[in-house]
Amino acid sequence: MRLFDSHAHIGLINEDPIEQLIIVQEAKQEHVEGLLSICNNLQDFFQVYENLRTATHVYHSIGVSPSEVMHPGRDWTSKIEEGTQLERVVAVGEIGLDYYRKFGDRDSQIELFIRQLELADRLGFPVVIHNREAGKDVLEILREKLPSRGGVLHCYSEDWEYAKKALELNLYISFAGNLTYRNARNLHEAAKNMPLERMLIETESPFMVPAAYRGKRNKPSYLIETAKFVAELREQPEEEVAEVLYNNSLQFFGIN
C-alpha cells in the first residue's frame, strides 16, 4: 500500500528540526511514501523547507493563508516566486477564504486570494485552497480565477451538492480525518459518490485527527485510517483505493 498525505502542517506538529524529520520518517514506515508540507506564512515555509531538505519524499507548497491577511510579509509576491524555484515545491497554498475566524475583513481576504490565484497561474502551479464558511465566494472566485493547473479543495467540509459544482471545474477534493467521524454524513455522501479519480486524502495534521486517535495530536502516520474509511464507504478494496488516491496526488502535483 502507498499513501500520499496531501496536506500536513509539519511545523505546527513540532518546531524542532530533528523531530520534524522523525515525524516524516515515521509516516513513511506507515505507508506514507509522499507528503505535502504546508505552512500558513512565508517565514515558516522557508524554515520548514530547510529543516526537511534531506527528506526527499516530502514536497512543499508555498503561499499566504487567510489567517495572515493583515501581515503577509514584505515583498510577499516576490518571496512566493522565489520559493517556487526551489526543489520539490509543487503548489501555491494554502490560500483561500476563512469567514469563521474573521481574519481581517472580507474584501482584504478576497484580494489576497485572487492575487495568489493569478500568481499561481502565471507561475504554472496548482493551488491548495482553504475554505471555511466561505463556500459561495470561493466557488464564484474559482469560476473566474482558477489557474490552468487547477486546484484542490483541502479538508473538505461542504456537502455533495457543493462537490458536484466544484467538480465542474478543474478541481480535486481532499478529505481529512474528520471524514471518519460518525456524524459527518455530509462528508460521507460526498466521498461515496464523487469520482475516485478526483479525490485526495490528507491529515491536516496536527488537526482533524481520525476517530481512531481522538484525543491525540494528528500526524501523517495516521493517514491510513482515512484511506481505510474511504474504501469502506465506497465498498472497494483498500489496496485498490489507496493506489488510486496515491496516483491522484502525483498527477495533481505534477510529481514524476
pLDDT at 154: 98
What is the total count of domains within the chain? 1
Give DSSP secondary structure letters for 229-249.
Answer: HHHHHHT--HHHHHHHHHHHH
Buried b (16+ CB within 10 A) or exposed e, 197-226: ebbbbbbbbbbbbbeeeeeeebbbbbbbbb
Query: pLDDT digit string (tens) for 1-59?
Result: 999 999 999 999 999 999 999 999 999 999 999 999 999 999 999 999 999 999 999 99
Q: What is the mean pLDDT of residues 72-82?
A: 96
pLDDT at 176: 98
Query: pLDDT digit string (tens) for 115-163?
Result: 999 999 999 999 999 999 999 999 999 999 999 999 999 999 999 999 9
Query: pLDDT digit string (tens) for 167-220?
Result: 999 999 999 999 999 999 999 999 999 999 999 999 999 999 999 999 999 999
- Residue 81's domain comprises 3-253
Say if residue 101's pLDDT is above 90.
no
Residue 236's CATH number = 3.20.20.140
3-state DSSP percent of the chain in helix, strand and coil, to 5: 50, 20, 35
Prediction pTM value? 0.97
Coil, helix or strand for 205?
A: strand
pLDDT at 2: 98
SS3 letters across 93-116? EEEEEECCCCCCCHHHHHHHHHHH
Query: pLDDT digit string (tens) for 181-191?
Result: 999 999 999 99
The owner of cell 459561495 is 136
Chain centroid offset of residue 94 CA: 7
pLDDT at 70: 95
